Homo-oligomer: A and B are copies of this chain.
Amino acid sequence: MAGYQPGEQPQTGKFIKLNTNENPYPPSPKVIQAIQAALEGGLARYPDSVADSFRTRAAEVLGVEPDWILCGNGSDDILTIVTRAFVGEGQRLRLPYPSYVLYKTLARIQAAQYEEVRFTSDWKLTRDFAAPADSLRLAFLPNPNSPSGTMVSPDEVLEIAERLPCPLLVDEAYVDFADQHCLRLVRQSPRIMVSRTLSKSYALAGLRFGYIVAQPEIIDQLMKVKDSYNCDALSIAGATAAIDDQRWLQSNRAKIIATRERMAEQLEQLGFSVVPSQANFLWCTHAKQRLRPMYEQLKNQRLLVRYMDYADWGDGLRISIGTDQQADACLGLLESALDQK
């Protein structure tokens, strides 16, 4: 089998990176201070195996109890734990198409099957997504979705969950940039789980910290599958400080959204079709231009965006929202690339 191929992460040279949806701003200074303090506290001891300091603070912020939360080494770890807990060999998981390719890789690693249910051309889900199927054990719904940045409303998600014959994981990696979220649904249905990451909206991709919210009976099952000490002492300290600093989050969110809206408008002016986004990236297609050469030209000019080509769907550029300066650099390079045609 082929492994999952993450976006390019050049370790040398100066690139403007608008290809993996990282936050262009540094994290809250309180995160750095908390990590410094943990570092002074020492590293020789094992960390708290369930990250209770984070769970306690996150529970207050999110309006749940600590035992509704399980922490992971990035939300990749969470997705792996959930897949292993629910899906056995030869069983099935479901995901929409086009969406996050990693879900398929998780199925393959587990020697499980997957089925993809296509979005409509305007990124809505049909009733097929909730249809019964043999050995279906888990459904993944990235919401907002990648690469589109679109959302399925909480009411629709609840309806899907009620009709599905298996648990539903709502992957809210990008939800802090959206207008709504599905957290309240976790109380309404024991079959809905919501996962989140601190990588994007808290600017902590380098720290690896994610979590899942679900009813305690589910969390208990997931606890048995995770590695004993899956989060390290520094990431627990940093993540706790991050979720505690909601003021930083709101201010960062506002900056990203402002740049997103401006960039979307200017991309439209350049002739791109841009899907209205609820995330920190934009999905851009173009009626008249070939996009792969454009991606390559930008890469030669040391600016990375993500070129994606979905079989039987079409291709596009997924452009992460950077600083205003990075957005302008990207728009400038795209404009010259168009001029040359």
Contacts and interface: CB of A to CB of B under 8 A. Distances in A.
A31 B4 CA distance: 31
Given A88-B89, A232-B232, A227 B44 contact: no
A299 interface: no
Interface residues of A, number: 60
Interface string A43-74: 11111110010000000000000000000011
Given A44-B25, A234-B234, A88 B111 contact: yes
A240 to B, nearest CB: 13
Nearest to A27: B43
A208 B47 contact: yes
A45 B206 contact: yes
A333 interface: no
A22 to B, nearest CB: 5
A286 interface: no
B46 A39 contact: no
Contacts of A22: 44-46
Contacts of A338: none
A297 interface: no
Contacts of A225: 3, 109
A73 B73 contact: yes
A294 interface: no
A180 interface: no
A203 B224 CA distance: 26
Interface stretch (A76-84, A161-169, A184-192): A76-84
Contacts of A36: 36, 39
A277 B176 CA distance: 52
B52 A4 contact: no
Interface in A10-32: 11, 17, 20, 22-27, 31-32
Nearest to A204: B43
Contacts of A1: 224
A26 B39 contact: no
A48 B224 contact: no
A238 B76 contact: no
B45 A17 contact: yes
Nearest to A80: B227
A135 interface: no
Contacts of A77: 73, 227, 230
A93 B208 CA distance: 31
A206 B228 contact: no
Nearest to A40: B32
A235 interface: yes
A24 B44 CA distance: 7
A281 B84 CA distance: 34
Nearest to A102: B228
A213 interface: no
A229 interface: yes
18 contacts: A1-B224, A3-B224, A3-B225, A9-B49, A22-B46, A43-B203, A43-B204, A44-B203, A44-B206, A45-B205, A73-B227, A73-B230, A77-B230, A84-B109, A88-B111, A109-B225, A205-B229, A207-B234
